[in-house]
Amino acid sequence: MHELTVELGARSYPIFIGEGLFSSTELYEKMMGSSKLMIVTDTNIEQLYLADLLRSLEDFQVFVHVIKAGEVYKNLDTLNTVITAMLTSKISRSDCLIAFGGGVVGDLTGFAAACFQRGINFIQVPTTLLAQVDSSVGGKTAVNHKLGKNMIGAFHQPIGVISDVSILASLPEREFSAGMAEVIKYGLIRDKDFFEWLESNIDKLLMKSSVELAYAIEKSCLNKAAVVSEDEKENGIRAILNLGHTFGHAIETGLNYQTWLHGEAVGMGMVMAAYMSVEMGWLSESDLERTLILINKAGLPIKLSAECKEFNMRELMSIDKKVSHGKLKLILLKNIGSAVITEDFDEQILNNTIKHFYGMTE
């Protein structure tokens, strides 16, 4: 087992990475100060792993709330069912939630924890690669609105994260590839050596080799923890973690959160950001090619689907959390391993980038 720490002073918390951890009674006892808790999970994880988790928590007073699986259910209606279940179960400020699932469960449960009685503890137990390397770490919690992704939320840090590598064995290939988008992101934005390691080890990762997978998760979490520790509330450098997300969120919103997985949209967004970086005269053609090759090898899209032509991507990008004083900030690349946050870009280049990818849809 590897243990990392997100350094946030008195609110610092551990990330545990290893095999067979999600059912470790010792880890939960180590983190929780209360004997009463509620597990929030989805219909997929309920069938696969909930019984094992419950066995490990038999000495606790446990309540369970199950939500429907899928990004389309990450909304205020579902949040209300969680809050109602907490009230019905008489969860108090001294108790704890466990988010047992992928990014949707983690984001929604974290937001419920942030809102309930003005904030209670929660533990992230992510069950997808994407959640293990990204959404479970850093304290961003939210639900979607039909007009924009993650527009309703709060910063609320967990008291711990348990990332069980073995649980990824049951992850469908498409979901696994979606998680690889966030892994590749860390190499692109701040860790060139890790990007080069990914180029050499992508085949082993796609085969879910436990050694390489644990290393990739650890490196991703180390990179994210370093950024979050420096800029918890995204007032500056933390925005680099959103490489590809402004394009990607527009795709997800335009398709009503039903067609592309979040990681697929982010992967496509990184392709578009890399292409625009070349057009800005920053990123080299060779680095763009390497980026495209790795994202494609990971099983992620490098072309828009034809249905993306049915919405105005630029308009949807204007409804973004990185819009300030009417100006959109983009995360672009100077080199592999070096990202830049900028609102000083040529609007025509952005429009030409969107037009370029609209012209090569599948």
Residue 230 a catalytic site member: no
Query: What 3-state class would DSSP assign to 8?
Result: coil
Can you tell me the distance from the alpha carbon of 340 to that of 336, in angstroms, rounded to the nearest whole number? 11
Q: Which of 223, 242, 279, 321 is catalytic?
A: 242
Q: Which of 185, 262, 321, 322 is catalytic?
A: 262
Determine phi and psi for 162, rounding to 5 degrees.
Answer: -115, 105
Q: Which of 44, 65, 71, 140 is catalytic?
A: 140
Residue 118 a catalytic site member: yes
Q: Are the C-beta atoms of residues 248 and 266 closer than 8 Å to each other?
A: yes
The CA-CA-CA angle for residues 216, 155, 104, to 5°, reads 60
Determine phi and psi for 100, rounding to 5 degrees.
Answer: -115, 90
CB atoms within 10 A of CB 82: 22
Q: Which of 26, 58, 90, 118 is catalytic?
A: 118
Instruction: Name, in order, each residue with C-beta under 8 angstroms of 6's C-beta and a sequence gap of 6 or more.
Output: 12, 13, 14, 15, 137, 138, 157, 225, 228, 229
Reference 126, options 104, 141, 154; nearest CA is: 104
Reference 74, options 48, 100, 99, 107; nearest CA is: 107
Q: Which of 182, 212, 252, 279 is catalytic?
A: 182
Task: Give the CA distances from residue 358 to residues 54, 242, 261, 308, 352, in Å, rounded to whole numbers and listed in that order.
Answer: 48, 22, 19, 8, 10
Residue 249 a catalytic site member: yes
Q: Which of 234, 252, 264, 279 is catalytic?
A: 234
Residue 314 a catalytic site member: no
Instruction: Name, in order, each residue with C-beta under 8 angstroms of 271's C-beta and a sequence gap of 6 or more.
Output: 244, 291, 292, 295, 301, 302, 357
Q: Are the C-beta atoms of residues 122 and 139 closer than 8 Å to each other?
A: no
Can you tell me the distance from the alpha carbon of 89 to that of 225, in angstroms, rounded to the nearest whole number? 34
What the block records as the tokens of 29 is 């006892």
Residue 29 a catalytic site member: no
Residue 234 a catalytic site member: yes
Residue 262 a catalytic site member: yes
SS3 readout for 282-297: CCCHHHHHHHHHHHHH
β-strands 121-126, 160-164 pairing: parallel
Q: Which of 156, 190, 224, 322 is catalytic?
A: 224
Q: Which of 149, 156, 249, 322 is catalytic?
A: 249
Residue 156 a catalytic site member: no
| Residues annotated catalytic, as ranges | 118, 140, 182, 224, 234, 238, 242, 245, 249, 262
